Amino acid sequence: MKRALITGVTGQDGLYLSELLISKGYEVYGLVRGQNNPKLGLLAATVPEVKVLTGDLMDMSSLLRALHAAEPDEVYNLGAISFVAYSWENAHLTTDVTGKGVLNLLEAVRLYSRDDLTRVRFYQASSSEMFGKVQEVPQRETTLLWPRSPYGVAKVFGHHMTINYRESYGLHASSGILFNHESPRRGPEFVTRKVSQAVARIRLGLQDRIALGNIDAKRDWGFAGDYVEAMWRMLQQPHGDDYVVATGSTHSIRDLLEVAFTHAGLDDWQRYVVQDERFMRPAEVDLLVGDPSKARSVLGWEPTVSFDELVRMMVDHDLIEQRALAGV
């Protein structure tokens, strides 16, 4: 039985990855920062087979203890402060967790592995936000990185550090440059879930409108359940490498609103949407679209859920959830 250690296990990707690995017969350990994590109940209800360990990406001694407890064959670093807007409010903490946390975990894996660096395979959750002010369309593994947020800058540090450990020490380390991937498990602070939740509440008469920032921004949106499959496939390759994971298609937030409101039976979404300067980024990322050719050819990976299917899935989930919460 293979063993895996996942940081960020209570997040959207951590839950889907845990389910995937357990379905493949893995023994899964999840790293949680502190015992008061509000999502521990969700983890226990969703994937009760996961064995919870406590640790902190900013505390390497705790990471070493977790590695010795889990004895993993594979380590998936999904832990980060991942809400881009927050990274401007607290750039130092974002840098410590999302950037330096990667270095701490890589070094912990190296020390744990001792003289046998084939002992553990490492996955780093890199991000399309690293491309920022895009220098090439579509973006591929070789595209120049030009991050436009403290979060993106921190992700670039972690990405290059992963490459450095692969090239310096021979560690089997891979980075998945994941473009936007969503699901009903996405936090409500992210625009896709903010929209699906608001659409459900408007349809049920629980709220009147939704305030958004730049509705012309374009993203390459896929389903998180598909993307964790790509993570796993990376660590099954003979050598570590970097892969763009994306659908190759782009949609604007206007498209998101159109599909979501129409699916809920609400015509003319513009009646319900207001733009609010508070939600505008100081430095916007206008167009992200990935080229997943390498993931397709090397990993044999393909997305299975279309953009429209993803949005409808999220709206349906939130209609059920909001109806239950409101008792209507």
Which residue, 186, 176, 155, is CA-closest to 13?
Answer: 186
The yes-or-no answer on residue 127 being catalytic is: yes
Please pick, among 151, 165, 227, 243, the residue that the annotation labels catalytic.
Answer: 151
Q: List pLDDT tens digits, range 174-198.
A: 999 999 999 999 999 899 999 999 9
The yes-or-no answer on residue 86 being catalytic is: no
Q: What is the mean pLDDT of the chain?
A: 94
- Parallel, antiparallel or unpaired: strands 222-223 and 273-275: unpaired
State how far the Cα of 204 lies from the Cα of 295, in Å rounded to an integer. Answer: 41
287: Cβ–Cβ under 8 A, 6 or more apart, which residues? 134, 137, 217, 218, 250
Q: List pLDDT tens digits, range 226-256.
A: 999 999 999 999 999 999 999 999 999 999 9
Please pick, among 129, 174, 175, 227, the residue that the annotation labels catalytic.
Answer: 129
- The mean pLDDT value for 299-309 works out to 98
Which residue, 85, 80, 84, is CA-closest to 96?
Answer: 80
The yes-or-no answer on residue 272 being catalytic is: no
